[in-house]
Amino acid sequence: EHFPSFYPLWKKLTPKLKMWDAVRPVILHVYGGIYLDHDIKCNRVGFSEWIDPGTRLMIRKEYYDGGDGKKRITITNSFMASAKSHPLWLTYIENIIKEIPF
């Protein structure tokens, strides 16, 4: 029903882990909500952003060493939350489709 042109491409993704990575933004775009990997640990108590109706999108960022002594930032898919129909997910899905090698 949602993203019918994406479904046949999604079914071809390998390994299967990529299928789950690719379906998360679809679910968040259609329904909104929170996705959290089972091994994520909250280090803060009290997330006022979670209950603020003005919060439309939350994504986890991590810092890593770029190998040159400089810290880099990466955005992960281990924690994602958004309001229904947030436009970021359409861009995310379009980029997944562009990266599929077939």
Residue range 72-92, pLDDT digits in tens = 888 888 889 898 999 999 998
Which value, to the nearest 10 degrees, does the dihedral of the CA atoms of residues 37, 101, 82, 85 take?
A: -150
Q: Is the pLDDT of residue 45 over 80?
A: no
Band (50; pLDDT cuts 50, 70, 90): low
Dihedral-angle region of residue 34 (phi above 0 means left; psi in -120 to 50 means alpha; beta otherwise): beta
CA–CA gap between residue 7 and residue 3 (Å, rounded):
7
pTM of the model: 0.75
- Rounded to the nearest integer, the mean pLDDT of the chain is 84
Q: Is the pLDDT of residue 41 over 80?
A: no
